[in-house]
Amino acid sequence: MSTKTAGRKIVINPVTRVEGHGKVTILLDEKGNVQQSRFHIIEFRGFERFVQGRFYWEAPTIVQRLCGICPVSHHLCAAKATDMIVGAKTLTPTAEKMRRLMHYGQTLQSHALHFFHLCSPDLLFGFDAPVEQRNVIGVIKADPETAKKAVLLRKYGQEIIKATAGKKVHGTGAIPGGINKNLSKEERDVFLKDIDTILQWSVEALELCKKIVKEKLDFFLKFGAFDSNHLSIVRKDGCLDLYDGLLRAKTADGKIIFDMVKPEDYLDYIAEEVRPWSYMKFPFIRSLGKEKGWYRVGPLARINNCDFIDTPLAEKERQELMSLSGGKPINASMVYHWTRLIEMLHSAEKIKILLNDPDLQGTNLITQGTKQKRGVAWIEAPRGTLFHHYEINDNDQIVLANLIVSTTNNNEPMNQVVNVLAKDYLQGKSEITEGLLNTIEVGIRAYDPCLSCATHALGQMPLQVQIVDHKGELVHELIRG
């Protein structure tokens, strides 16, 4: 490509503390101005082929192996799609609530992991702190109490997953039309004993994040900020709902693009673009086209999109946050962290409500109705809206599968954040420092991308930086790790 030979190319590879493997390329022109920025993601989409020919009831168990980080989201989303296939329009209260409990447990543990292990080192020590300190070990050394709580918060979420899905990772709980177990009183009591502590710690984590962000509010609101549309599901009444709802999209300044879209109609609203340099597709809102139709998903989009939250502590926090922008969507990348912790608190509140609900001890677990050939569902995975679409033949075999995963939905925003930060921070600089490069990583990390191979090594992964001149020759290289 002409742009490649016209200037220098800086490659950051791999991005550390991103769950998986990615590569950043920043192309500078001869004057050192940022020409183009790309976040390359090696994503394995083989699962869509892999499930072809398999039976629809296997989908929830097979596709969750797409990801070792949020398998529950795939498990539940596939199960919801197969609910449609077996004609289960409404699940039994026990099934619906067990699945929700699983999902809130997953959200709690995923958000806790992200905040404490991946993002807090940046926030606590500064973006250009030495890499030996700026990792989870550094957090443990600096604040062992917080680190301990982080581990236990995560463990609590994982135990909830185990109690609902049978295993902490890759369980089988959700099945077409329902769930295969309820929550025994003994299991419930173990969780009830600790839930108030979990709630308290969720509040503390949010307070810590808010304190850091508020100290440098202007900086955080500007860092990696750019306008975008926002996409998420919301409940029928506009309430935040992470497990189920209808699709809503808003513009950067809060105008509704579409609302109350049903899963089975998703293809009328969302399309995917393929770009030659990336394995990952770029989804966009059809009515706005490829150029303008891309959007953010995930905690920030969800908090921006919903009208309210139905748990009191999280709702109070939402109001406080949204008052920063007079109720309009916030378009600042770093606010992802803040919204992520509002959702962590919301999940803890939801878990408490569910644990006190006797429906979880119900024994009516499965519903069925008239069989359908097509099943489409979505769920708000920790990292954003996740779509699963299956079609089956007369023999119950899957003949088509289409998955749009959360990180794919956030593909363009991650490219945007790299571009914005490269323009702001690398412009004209001849020396590339660790801190400078990490700035870009910090921006990407705000989106909590979960890339297909979860081989992050918490600050130990080598980081390779290359500057290639317009003749394709290496002029500067920085390797760390």
Partner 1 sequence: MSTNVVTFTIDGVEIKSAPDKTIIQAADDAGIYIPRLCYLKDLPPGGHCRVCTVKVNGRPVNSCTYPVAEGIVVENDIEELNSFRRNIIEMLFVEGNHFCPSCEVAGKCELQALAYRLGLLTPQMPYLYAQKELDATHPDVYLDRNRCVLCGRCVRASIHLDKKNVFGFENRGINMKISVNSNDGLQDTNLSKEDKAMSVCPTGCLVVKRQGYLTPVGKRLYDKKPIGSEIETKKVKS
Sign of the alpha-carbon torsion through 132, 134, 136, 139 = positive
**How many Cβ atoms from other residues are within 10 Å of residue 89's Cβ?**
10
Query: Using an 8 Å Cβ cutoff, are 89 and 392 in contact?
Result: no
Q: Which is nearer to partner 1, 46 or 481 (CB)?
A: 46
The least distance separating partner 1 from the CB of residue 353, rounded to whole angstroms, comes to: 23
Q: Which is nearer to partner 1, 395 or 430 (CB)?
A: 395
DSSP code string of 75-140: HHHHHHHHHHHTT-SS--HHHHHHHHHHHHHHHHHHHHIIIIIIIHHHHHH-TTS-TTTSSHHHHH
Distance in angstroms (rounded) separating the CA atoms of residues 384 and 391: 23
**How many Cβ atoms from other residues are within 10 Å of residue 442's Cβ?**
25
Between the alpha carbon of residue 284 and those of residues 77, 321, 410, 478, the distances in Å are 21, 27, 10, 36
| Closest C-alpha to 452, from 46, 34, 85, 168 | 46
CA dihedral 362, 368, 369, 372 (to 10 degrees): 140
Distance in angstroms (rounded) separating the CA atoms of residues 142 and 133: 9
The least distance separating partner 1 from the CB of residue 285, rounded to whole angstroms, comes to: 34
Tokens for 50? 């892999």
Amino acid at 430: S
Q: Which is nearer to partner 1, 78 or 342 (CB)?
A: 78
The least distance separating partner 1 from the CB of residue 183, rounded to whole angstroms, comes to: 11
Sign of the alpha-carbon torsion through 66, 70, 72, 77 = negative
Tokens for 362? 């119900």
Mark out the alpha helices in 143-279 (DSSP H runs).
Answer: 144-165, 185-215, 217-222, 266-269
Q: Which is nearer to partner 1, 68 or 93 (CB)?
A: 68
The least distance separating partner 1 from the CB of residue 172, rounded to whole angstroms, comes to: 4
Distance in angstroms (rounded) separating the CA atoms of residues 218 and 170: 42
The least distance separating partner 1 from the CB of residue 11, rounded to whole angstroms, comes to: 36
The least distance separating partner 1 from the CB of residue 271, rounded to whole angstroms, comes to: 30
Q: Which is nearer to partner 1, 75 or 340 (CB)?
A: 75
The least distance separating partner 1 from the CB of residue 366, rounded to whole angstroms, comes to: 8
The least distance separating partner 1 from the CB of residue 48, rounded to whole angstroms, comes to: 15
Q: Which is nearer to partner 1, 103 or 230 (CB)?
A: 103
Q: Which is nearer to partner 1, 52 or 427 (CB)?
A: 52
The least distance separating partner 1 from the CB of residue 167, rounded to whole angstroms, comes to: 5
The least distance separating partner 1 from the CB of residue 368, rounded to whole angstroms, comes to: 9
Q: Which is nearer to partner 1, 164 or 311 (CB)?
A: 164
DSSP, res 428: T
Q: Which is nearer to partner 1, 166 or 327 (CB)?
A: 166
Distance in angstroms (rounded) separating the CA atoms of residues 57 and 78: 9
Q: Which is nearer to partner 1, 13 or 172 (CB)?
A: 172
- What percent helix, strand, coil does the chain show, rounded to 5? 45, 20, 35
Between the alpha carbon of residue 192 and those of residues 1, 22, 341, 349, 467, the distances in Å are 59, 40, 21, 12, 55
The least distance separating partner 1 from the CB of residue 253, rounded to whole angstroms, comes to: 45
Q: Which residues bind partner 1 (CB under 8 A)?
A: 53, 55, 57-58, 60-62, 65, 165-167, 170-173, 175-176, 180-181, 395-397
Query: Using an 8 Å Cβ cutoff, are 249 and 257 in contact?
Result: yes
Tokens for 125? 């020590």
Q: Which is nearer to partner 1, 50 or 125 (CB)?
A: 50
Between the alpha carbon of residue 464 and those of residues 12, 15, 90, 471, 476, the distances in Å are 5, 9, 51, 20, 11
Q: Which is nearer to partner 1, 180 or 325 (CB)?
A: 180
The least distance separating partner 1 from the CB of residue 98, rounded to whole angstroms, comes to: 11
